[in-house]
Amino acid sequence: MRNNFNFIAPVYDKLGRLIFGNNLIDSQKAMLKHLKEGNHILILGGGSGEILKELDKQKIHLTISFVELSPKMIRLAKARQPFKNIEVTFICQNALAINPPNADVVITNYFLDVFALANLTLIMKKIENSLSTSGIWLCTDFRKTNSIFKNGLIKLMYLFFKIFSQLEANVLQDFEVQFETLGYKKIDSKFYFGKMIESCTYQKPNLTK
Ligand SMILES: C[S@@+](CC[C@H](N)C(=O)[O-])C[C@H]1O[C@@H](n2cnc3c(N)ncnc32)[C@H](O)[C@@H]1O
């Protein structure tokens, strides 16, 4: 199976903290200020659910569909319950094989980077269909920079996940180009780890205007 994060699940968060300090979780928190009371959120590839803890801390009522392929990751995410402010439906499925539930907000954090170009295009189109008119898409992920060290680190990460998770992708894609192709407008963004990580909010194009 491609993109199999079961083996790495028990150590994924610790490993991330070891290499990036708090940058992985801080970057995921950066765009949560755009959420509104009552939003329905679709999280794809939510991993061990660290983001759920942060969503619960927003102190607004949110309903969440949490789609994740790895049963081990889902188990870790479920173990974070109970929550005070959020209601979560856990969906252990391949996001490529389902029609994801409709949502006002989509969150893809370090998720798009697991796909090769053909499936990236496919998954983004699927997500696009689930997102309500004038919905927003919060996306945090790695990006290439001018730093030889950081681009080397990205290559090493892809090699590591290729070995331990049978990662589908061989290289990091330019997600900004993909969002632009879909007509999305970047309305907010923040860099982390010397611009190697970018946390963005994209606005869905309103085609009825
Ligand atoms: C790099 S991890 C990121 C996890 C989490 N978002 C985070 O930032 O900590 C990618 C996650 O996407 C999940 N994943 C990969 N392919 C998937 C697919 N086709 N459908 C649903 N989840 C998938 C993996 O199981 C893994 O938990």
pLDDT tens-digit map of 79-101: 999 999 999 999 999 999 999 99
In a domain, 208, yes or no: no
Query: What is the predicted pLDDT for the residue at 127?
Result: 96
Residue positions counted in the chain: 209
Q: State how many domains the chain has.
A: 1
In a domain, 88, yes or no: yes
Helices (H), 102-208: 117-130, 148-165, 175-181
* Ligand 1 near 111 CB (within 6 A): yes
Instruction: Give the domain CATH number at 41.
Output: 3.40.50.150
With vertex at residue 163, the alpha carbon angle to CA 162 and CA 164, rounded to the nearest 5 degrees, is 100
CB atoms within 10 A of CB 108: 22
Beta-ladder partners of 189: 200
In a domain, 90, yes or no: yes
Query: What is the predicted pLDDT for the residue at 70?
Result: 98
Q: Supply 49's token pair.
A: 């659910």
Query: What is the predicted pLDDT for the residue at 1?
Result: 78
- Picking from 95, 174, 100, 96, the residue whose alpha carbon sits closest to that of residue 132 is 100
From CA 47, how far away is CA 15, in angstroms rounded? 13
* Ligand 1 near 31 CB (within 6 A): no
* Ligand 1 near 46 CB (within 6 A): yes
Residue 194 has pLDDT above 90, yes or no: yes
pLDDT tens-digit map of 41-70: 999 999 999 999 999 999 999 999 999 999
Q: Which domain holds residue 46?
A: 9-203
Query: What is the predicted pLDDT for the residue at 206?
Result: 82
In a domain, 209, yes or no: no
Position in ligand 1 atom list of the atom nearest CA 5: 25
Interval between CA 84 and ligand 1 midpoint (Å): 25
Beta-ladder partners of 198: 141, 191
Query: What is the predicted pLDDT for the residue at 128?
Result: 95
In a domain, 55, yes or no: yes
Mutate to test the pocket of ligand 1, among 114, 122, 158 (most ligand atoms within 8 A of CB): 114
* Ligand 1 near 110 CB (within 6 A): yes
Query: What is the predicted pLDDT for the residue at 77?
Result: 98
In a domain, 38, yes or no: yes
From CA 144, how far away is CA 88, in angstroms rounded? 33
Residue 208: band (very low, low, confident or very high) from pLDDT cuts 50, 70, 90: low
Position in ligand 1 atom list of the atom nearest CA 50: 9
Query: What is the predicted pLDDT for the residue at 189?
Result: 98
Query: What is the predicted pLDDT for the residue at 167?
Result: 98
Residue 209 has pLDDT above 60, yes or no: no
Write the residue with the smallest CA distance to atom 11 of ligand 1.
Answer: 45
pLDDT tens-digit map of 2-51: 999 999 999 999 999 999 999 999 999 999 999 999 999 999 999 999 99
* Ligand 1 near 68 CB (within 6 A): yes
pLDDT tens-digit map of 132-179: 998 999 999 999 999 999 999 999 999 999 999 999 999 999 999 999
**What separation in angstroms does the CA of 72 have from each of 48, 75, 165?**
8, 5, 13
In a domain, 26, yes or no: yes
* Ligand 1 near 94 CB (within 6 A): yes
In a domain, 4, yes or no: no
